[in-house]
Amino acid sequence: DISESSQQTEKKSGSNLDKDDFLLLLVKQMQYQDPLEPTDNTEYVAQLATFSQLEAMLGMQDTQKNEMANGLVGKYVILKPTDATTGKTTYVDGKVDYVMYQEDGSVMLSVNDKLYNLDTLDTVADSDYYEAMGYAKSIENMLDQLPDLENITGSYETAIKQIRDLYDGLTDYQKGFVRD
């Protein structure tokens, strides 16, 4: 029954129909057409042309997605994966080591020796920016380990010197990321 087929298609993919759904609908339309008023062949040709355009568009979309993923290799990214069990969303940052293509068509990024779906990509960062942010975080963490100014004694001299040496070794661009 055509209405069952349509309902199954709608349940399966919501409002997004894929090429298999399109072909299924076309076959069902041909199968259940009114024999007293059959559908004109030109209408089928038009639908087939629409299907061909859809298929070409999907192919281009996959190619663009793959090219984008390949371009991420060596780049620093921030991913925003959601745990399937808990539903909790976290942030993961690191460099993309490689891209893996799954049989189901999904694209996976290897970051920090773990695989993440390309769909979890949140941010792509320039390596200079990423490095500067890392140095700024390190300096801020080191400063947070120090006591308040009125409680600093000579015993913190080595720690303060390490922070100062790290800061002095930064470029002006990197220094701009360290909070005042």
| pLDDT tens-digit readout, 55-114 | 778 777 777 888 888 889 989 999 999 988 899 999 998 999 999 998 888 899 999 999
pLDDT, tens digit (0-9, with 9 covering 90-100), for 5-56: 444 444 444 456 666 777 787 788 778 777 777 767 677 677 777 777 877 7
Q: What is the pLDDT of residue 19?
A: 67
What is the model's pTM? 0.52
pLDDT at 20 (0 to 100): 76
Would strands 114-117 and 107-111 be described as parallel, antiparallel, or unpaired?
Answer: antiparallel
- CA 141 from centre of chain: 29
User: Quick count: other Cβ atoms within 10 Å of Cβ 96?
Assistant: 23
CA 180 to chain centre: 33
The answer to whether the beta carbons of residues 107 and 120 sit under 8 Å apart is no
Mean pLDDT of 136-158: 90
pLDDT at 1: 47
| Mean pLDDT for the stretch of residues 143-164 | 90
Predicted pLDDT of residue 172: 92
CA distance 116 to 144: 32
Which one is predicted more confidently, 178 or 10?
178
Q: Which two tokens stand for residue 180?
A: 């005042």
Mean pLDDT of 156-171: 92
Q: Is residue 177 classed as helix, strand or coil in its secondary structure?
A: coil
